[in-house]
Amino acid sequence: MATQPATERPVRVLLIDDDRDDYLLTRDLFAEIPGNRYVLDWAPDYERGLAALCEATHDVYLLDFRLGEKSGLDLMAEARKNNCSGPIIFLTGQSVWEVDLAAMEQGAADFLDKGRLDAVLLDRSVRYALQQRRYEIELEKQVRERTEELARANEALRHADQRKDEFLATLAHELRNPLAPIRNALEIMRVASDKPAAIENARDIVERQVGQMVRLINDLLDVSRITRGKLSLKMESIGISEAIEAAVETSKPLVEGAGLTFRQSIADEPLRVQGDRLRLAQVFSNLLNNSAKYTESGGEVTLTASREGKDVVVRVRDTGVGIPKELVPNVFELFTQVDRTLNRAQGGLGIGLALVQQIVALHGGTVVAKSEGVGKGAEFSVRLPAE
């Protein structure tokens, strides 16, 4: 047996008119409409009409100009004042353009002359009012969505501006910090020219502080190159252990100097990728340095590398201060630091993890952060396509 089509919902129409004869006439006109799908209700006075309009239980409102001592224009004005709205068709018993124009200015969807009203005209006007209402609802939705989108964009810009200001303040601090020991070391070298041991010690201080400044400046240059699409990679087939070995050699002194235990586990099977050996070493070194900076003395940093399906996965885990769960999605954003008060003596600009993400992306890979919360450590997983 064929399925019957779903019945279209009737259109509820409310006539606000203090004349019963007008109601009966209007009811008869609706009855003449072919395939009539309208349900006509009646509000016989101003107060009940206003209340019904504000309850918004009807699809269309037919509003008469004459409503006792008040008028339909008065009702529309009061409805607007009370934030009540709906598609209104204004009915007049005379061709007075001033009244019709005033009704349109108050928000009426259409106006009809009751003396010339017939079923066809009434049906057409109601359909038009419904269509206009659908357009208004869609426009309101689009405006609301656009407003929310702009609000989110504005909030993002505000946060970005705040991070930029914090970054500039941190940059000034990090670049200024080495100057004091460099200046003191130079003074020692000037006054202790006859003391080779003191000069050697001062030279070591200068080298360490200059090295720190060079690393900061190189990170800044790398960020600039990546954001401008100017970073070039020397891609070749490499074993991931080669990049890891170079990273560990760079970072192990920092890890051990922080009083941490370092462990590593690399799978015996060949783990080869297409990549830039130096840039991948930079990625793993940055992750190891990050763990060292955010892990208390006595903690542990672990690096593992293995093959998972078609990918080579390198994980760096630590037992450090962890990351608040709500901040995990933001740790790779430029100029972001989870909590400056948690940062150890190594300092930082909040661009190391941003560099990690962008360099990994240039290799066709991904990096993901994970933490169970504050005090529960963190894990960073780098996933690269295997050869």
Q: What is the pLDDT of residues 299-352, one digit of tens each?
A: 999 999 999 999 999 999 999 999 988 888 888 887 665 554 444 444 555 678
User: Contact at 8 Å (CB) between 65 and 71?
Assistant: yes
Q: What is the pLDDT of residues 17-61, one digit of tens each?
A: 999 999 999 999 999 998 878 999 999 999 999 999 999 889 999
Rounded distance, CA 236 to CA 147, Å? 48
Q: What is the pLDDT of residues 244-268, one digit of tens each?
A: 999 999 898 889 889 999 999 999 9
| 96 three-class SS | coil
Q: What is the pLDDT of residues 61-90, one digit of tens each?
A: 999 988 988 999 999 999 988 888 889 998
| Range in 85-89, 236-240, 366-370 the model is least confident about | 85-89
pLDDT(1) > 60: no
> What is the model's pLDDT at position 342?
43
Residue of higher predicted confidence among 148 and 342: 148
> What is the model's pLDDT at position 339?
52
> Which pLDDT band holds residue 2 (cuts at 50, 70, 90)?
very low
> Which pLDDT band holds residue 14 (cuts at 50, 70, 90)?
very high
Rounded distance, CA 73 to CA 166, Å? 58
| Range in 126-130, 168-172, 206-210, 343-347 the model is least confident about | 343-347
> Which pLDDT band holds residue 180 (cuts at 50, 70, 90)?
confident
> Which pLDDT band holds residue 173 (cuts at 50, 70, 90)?
low
Question: CA 318 → CA 98, 169, 240, 261, distances in Å?
Answer: 78, 28, 21, 10
User: Contact at 8 Å (CB) between 53 and 84?
Assistant: yes
> What is the model's pLDDT at position 171?
72
Q: What is the mean pLDDT of the chain?
A: 86
* Token pair listed for 249: 């050699």
* pTM for this model (two decimals): 0.55
Rounded distance, CA 281 to CA 239, Å? 12
Q: Alpha helix locations (H) across the chain?
A: 20-32, 46-55, 72-81, 97-105, 119-176, 179-191, 196-227, 240-257, 277-293, 352-362
19 burial (CB, 10 Å; 0-12 / 13-18 / 19+) is middle
pLDDT(4) > 50: no
> What is the model's pLDDT at position 95?
62
Give the pairing type, strands 60-64 and 88-92: parallel
